[in-house]
Amino acid sequence: MTLRKGVGLPTVGEFGDPAVLLELAVAAEERGWDGVFLWDHLLYHDQSWPVANPTVTLGAIAAGTGRIRLGNLMTILPRRRAQTVAREAVTLDRLSGGRLVFGAALGSMDEEYAAFGEDPALRTRAARLDESLQVLTRLWSGGPVSYRGRYLTVDGVRMVPGPVQRPRIPVWCAGRWPGRAGFRRAARWDGAMPTFTDYGRERAVPPEELAAVVEFLRAERGSLDGFDIVMQGWSPRQDPAVYAQVGLTWWIEAMGWWRGGVAEARERIAAGP
């Protein structure tokens, strides 16, 4: 399988300007990258930093490009209303001509829940995420939907139009290895984006660690045909081809203030994938 390469853009700090994000996304398409993916935050650790809304920004990127895949890595679905997200996602998919990928995760910041009076407990967030994904994808079908869960209720609703992509917009889910719960969830959908407890920006992920994730997902699903394995990283510190050998299908080149900010992002994107 061909390894596709995308650009991962923060939406905070000096990247918290939607005009800059649009500029970088258009440049990524022009330079041959396969996708552009944004962060999803309401707040950031330093609340003096600007934060851009990723959904609005993706609308601009969808209208300003014609080829690249686009989406959030990852949408923090448990703190959003699934019915609103369903409308937003379909609108983005249609605006982009069927190029949206829907990433979903619990979120890394408890404060984005607690500061607004919502339960930050991981167990609650996980349950809301699972229910929200069920509601979201059923609403995308365009057929009548009734659902009654612990947190979400839908009473005989039909939402049209549906997305361009069939059978649905691809859904990727995040997981943090060596934890298993996030990967069990991801195995029920269309892709997984692993992060690692012991590895990250300062310590490159050993290929055998990703291979362990891939084998776990294979055992859960029975087959990885049509399933995406997605990882963020920083080349040339890491060689995407090495990870492709153990099953990676999407490499996301992670941009950020820690590697030179917007100026460096412009240079790296211009260099091509």
Mean pLDDT of 204-218: 97
pLDDT in tens, 7-66: 999 999 999 999 999 999 999 999 999 999 999 999 999 999 999 999 999 999 999 999
**Domain CATH for 198:** 3.20.20.30
Across 10-114, the runs of DSSP E, i.e. the strands, are 35-38, 69-76, 100-105
Mean pLDDT of 156-184: 97
3-state secondary structure of 147: strand
Please confirm whether the linkage preceding 170 is cis (ω < 30° from 0).
Answer: no
Whole-number Cα distances in Å, 78 to 39, 112, 144, 167, 174: 15, 11, 23, 23, 13
What pLDDT, on a 0 to 100 scale, did the predictor assign at position 234? 93
Percent of the chain with pLDDT over 90: 95
Q: Tell me the angle at which helices 82-95 and 122-140 cross, rounded to the nearest 10 degrees.
A: 50
Mean pLDDT of 70-78: 96
| Average pLDDT value for the chain | 96
Is residue 1 over pLDDT 80?
Answer: no
CB 14 within 8 A of CB 261: yes
Mean pLDDT of 84-107: 98
Is residue 202 over pLDDT 80?
Answer: no
| Torsion angle in degrees (nearest 10) through CA of 93, 107, 192, 272 | 70
What pLDDT, on a 0 to 100 scale, did the predictor assign at position 217? 98
If one counts the domains in the chain, the total is: 1
Whole domain around residue 96: which residue ranges? 4-271
Is residue 77 over pLDDT 90?
Answer: yes
Mean pLDDT of 65-90: 97
Helices (H), 80-233: 82-95, 111-114, 122-140, 181-187, 207-221
Whole-number Cα distances in Å, 226 to 1, 191, 192, 223: 10, 9, 12, 9
pLDDT band at 188 (very low <50, low <70, confident <90, very high): very high
pLDDT in tens, 111-160: 999 999 999 999 999 999 999 999 999 999 999 999 999 999 999 999 99
What pLDDT, on a 0 to 100 scale, did the predictor assign at position 237? 86
